[in-house]
Amino acid sequence: MNTRRTFLKSAAAALAPHVMGQNARRPSIVFILLDDLGYGEFGCYGQKQILTPNVDRFATQSIRYTDCYAGAAVCAPSRSVLMTGLHTGHTSVRANAGTIPLRPDPEDRTVAQLLKESGYTTALFGKWGLGDFGSTGTPDKKGFDEYYGFLHQVHPHNYYTDFLWRNGKKEVLSGNLDGKKTQYAADLIFEASVDFLKKQRRDKPYFLYVPTTLPHANYEAPDTAPYTNRNWPEVEKTYAAMITRADRHIGALLDALKQSGDEENTIVFITSDNGAPDGEGHKLEFFRGNGQLRGQKGQLYEGGIRVPMLVRWPGKIRAGAVSDLPWGFVDFLPTAAAIAAVEAPRNLDGISMLDALRSGLTARDRPPRFLYWEFYGFNANQNELRKNTFSQAARWGDWKAVRRPGAPLELYNLRTDLGETNDVAAQQPDLARKLDQFIASAHTEPRPHNTGSMQFIR
């Protein structure tokens, strides 16, 4: 047994009593991540037209966060932040480049690696997006005992794909060959996640990561129920049906967890990887997908990065609580480490939220802290980040700063201006300077990757 693993197990033994009691088994962790679901697309976050009864019921059993943030405004860097506990000024995957992988351990150490080394069974079902086949960043090299789904982030745009990856091997979907469309990838992935839950022993903790592709484009589904007869454009019927389908999947997963008898010793997170988009025929304003927030996926205004976040842990988190405490994906790794009673790596940008979860802390219960995001586009022809698209944003307390390419810093008071309509940088020069200095200090230049081809391996 190597020295690091010995240390982690010793740390677990020492810290465990503070988390769950002297003799109890450590908690399991389930993290459900939707893809491109907007801040306002669950009923419990104000949605009036799309039905999400399972998530809404889950919200009554959970703490609902109003000011939680994705790791980035697009999926790959957002997932990189989630896995590494480093914000986009430091994490290695900075853009939706398709084949940029997480770096080899120990440069990019993930939450799955940390938990696996401390004795957790780890599994991923869904869209990975942090390393294609043969790269340094495939799930098996990043701490997952098993995985099923998509590796490359472009591959899941086809819900009727001809194959999925299972533990490093292609699994052909014969029902989708020769133009047929009989095997819906999102259904297969959730069924696999339910099967995983059914196989787990109650005497060993697990980390189950379920990054579904729903409701990301392409907008296609086996049917448009229960919206078939609505007087809506067909694409909006399909979009709503995809969200409701994800809700049914979540309900089935939660039912399996309850039937396992391990519900009370499992903490469950439900969120989205970034804000909702406009395009592919779908109109963002049709369902007001990002609620009152300005912007959308790919932008660092609130509509691009603020996401729903529900966290349930029976008996440990007060059911039905609502908190405005700002936090985000950058905090998941240290939080999971605290839940598992292991020591998190040093020099993370995130902090543990365990005490905040258990105590229901709100924004007034903690001093302000800085949160940071940046955004790059990617030039596929040149295989490089597009520097002319570089944007940055930061939050400190009620204040939010945004710097767009070639433009002066913008400053908003989110407490009084949630829609970011009134730039007060000129009226608040000291605050603007404070956030500007933090933004400058948070960024490090991304190191080059050997990204290879933009074409995913078929």
Token reading at 309: 């976040």
Average pLDDT of the segment spanning 350-359: 98
Contacts of 377 (CB under 8 A, 6+ apart): 95, 385, 386, 389
Domains delineated in the chain: 26-363 (3.40.720.10), 370-442 (3.30.1120.10)
Segment among 1-10, 160-169, 294-303, 391-400 with least mean pLDDT: 1-10
Higher pLDDT, residue 169 or 201:
169
Q: What phi and psi values does residue 240 have, to the nearest 5 degrees?
A: -65, -40
Report the pLDDT value the prediction gives residue 99, as an integer from 0 to 100: 65
Token reading at 364: 């007034």
Confidence of residue 379 (pLDDT cuts 50, 70, 90): confident
Query: Measured between alpha carbons, how far is 211 from 205 in angstroms, rounded to an integer?
Result: 20
Beta strands (DSSP E) in 137-265 are 146-150, 163-166, 169-172, 206-211
Q: Is the pTM of this model over 0.85?
A: yes
Confidence of residue 386 (pLDDT cuts 50, 70, 90): confident
- 237-250 confidence digits (pLDDT tens): 999 999 999 999 99
Ramachandran category for residue 309: left, alpha or beta (phi over 0 → left; psi -120 to 50 → alpha) = beta
Among 111, 113, 112, 91, smallest CA distance to 102 is for: 91
Report helix, strand and coil shares of the chain as percent, to nearest 5: 30, 20, 50
Among 340, 447, 373, 371, smallest CA distance to 112 is for: 340
Query: Measured between alpha carbons, how far is 71 from 86 in angstroms, rounded to an integer?
Result: 9
Report the pLDDT value the prediction gives residue 10, as an integer from 0 to 100: 41
pLDDT greater than 80 at residue 389: yes
Confidence of residue 310 (pLDDT cuts 50, 70, 90): very high
Report the pLDDT value the prediction gives residue 417, as an integer from 0 to 100: 98
Contacts of 260 (CB under 8 A, 6+ apart): 197, 198, 200, 202
Give me the chain's average pLDDT, please. Answer: 92
Report the pLDDT value the prediction gives residue 11, as an integer from 0 to 100: 40
Token reading at 105: 């351990």
Q: What phi and psi values does residue 185 have, to the nearest 5 degrees?
A: -55, -40
The letter for the amino acid at 314 is P
Residues 107, 397: contact at Cβ < 8 Å?
no
Q: What is the total residue count of the chain?
A: 458
Q: How far is CA 73 from the centre of its chain?
A: 11
